[in-house]
Amino acid sequence: MQSSISRDDVSLLDAPPFQIADNVMDLNNLKNLGLQTMESRMTPVYQAEPGGSFSHHSGMIVFKDRLYCSWSGGKEVEDGSGQWIYYRSTTDGEDWSDLRILAKPPGGDRFVSAGFHATPNMLVAYFTHAKEGVHNLRHPDTALCAVTSEDGEHWSEPKRLIDGFFIEGPLRLPSGRLLMGGEHVEFDQHQTRMRLIYTDQPDGLSDWKVAEIHPELSQPKGLRIFDYTECCPFVRADGTVVAPFRNYSGHLYASTSRDEGKSWSVPVETNFPDSMARFSTGTLPDGQTWLINNPGPGRNNRSFLTLALSRDGILFDRAWLLHGEPTSMRFPGKDKTNGWQYPHARVWKDHLFISYSVNKEDVMVSRIPLKALSL
């Protein structure tokens, strides 16, 4: 990490979009990263079983006073043939409805969960449709799709929206515009990896446009740093949209937009540690920004799941350990790994609800009272 980081330092125009303050985390402390553990209540949404031992890519939404959670579910391997989208819902965060299938792919194709969007009268569930036998990012027909429901139980036929690979639902900007971050597929990925899309349609079902990414991203250095570039944007109080990006460097990169996601600055490296995995950001009711991730140490180390907070979306100066207990897979499977991974969070009923997969097998949800996070 850089030294002597202060709030004034990271307010400079040429500074990274955000930083973490010195001495907040100690990556050399392999017991707890030097963090206190945040007390939370954890409930299972799905627990792996033979023939259904892969679960990942969870996402949540609140619709008509219920909290919904969806995820990718496979027989035993990540993104294997026939991978479905499952979901459950709850009225209290404790008792979950029966397991339901949200979408099932044709033949040996694969569906990858990409979260939700909701209007007052319609629930939209997104997923990426990947073809059988081809890497998700290599087939030109890999695309974002959606199904809709008026009651959370009966769903429409899938609708193809735009090509690309996505695992995160849209962020609603203050203007109402919807913004999603994903990745290019086939040949486009050799030019730039990020694929940020936006629409001004309230239902999020049409008119998706591709945002402008600065051409410097097409240089070879950028392609070496960025492989999977999963992002989860947040909005500062002044309206600036910030998009952190997953990458190989050991720290999050980040870009900013001042035109509500239409165009973006060149992503630059922050000092926020990250082990190259999906993360979650968002804004609490009191205006604080959260960032939940696997900080490491080391690439793909998902043994620690942490929560950091920032008062202004620029300097993260408080953090806690959410989970650091050792985990062990119960079922073998290609591309599976131990740990607490791929978090997603929503504010509901005076709590921050956080979903994640454990060992890419079980889907769990933890909830933290907002008063425990207040300034």
- Residue 241 makes CB contacts below 8 A (sequence gap 6+) with 173, 179, 233, 234, 235, 256, 257, 258, 260, 261
The pLDDT score that the predictor gives to residue 139 is: 81
Residue 37 neighbours by CB distance under 10 Å = 12
The pLDDT score that the predictor gives to residue 221 is: 56
Which residues in the chain land under pLDDT 70? 1-14, 134-137, 187-191, 214-224
User: What is the pTM (predicted TM-score) of this model?
Assistant: 0.94
Cβ–Cβ under 8 Å, residues 74 and 368: no
Report, in angstroms and rounded to the nearest whole number, the Rg of the chain calculated over CA atoms.
Answer: 19
Among residues 325, 334, 324, 330, the alpha carbon closest in space to that of 359 is found at: 330
100-103: strand order across its sheet: 54-63, 66-74, 84-90, 100-103
The pLDDT score that the predictor gives to residue 234 is: 98
The pLDDT score that the predictor gives to residue 137 is: 65
Q: What fold does the segment set 9-372 form as a domain?
A: Neuraminidase (2.120.10)
The pLDDT score that the predictor gives to residue 220 is: 47
Dihedral of CA atoms 250, 271, 344, 124 in degrees, nearest 10, equals -100
**pLDDT tens for each residue of 122-133:** 999 999 999 887
Ramachandran assignment for 360, one of left (phi > 0), alpha (psi -120 to 50 degrees), beta (any other): left
**pLDDT tens for each residue of 50-103:** 999 999 999 999 999 999 999 999 999 999 999 999 999 999 999 999 999 999
The pLDDT score that the predictor gives to residue 184 is: 87
- Residue 135 makes CB contacts below 8 A (sequence gap 6+) with none
The domains of the chain are located at: 9-372
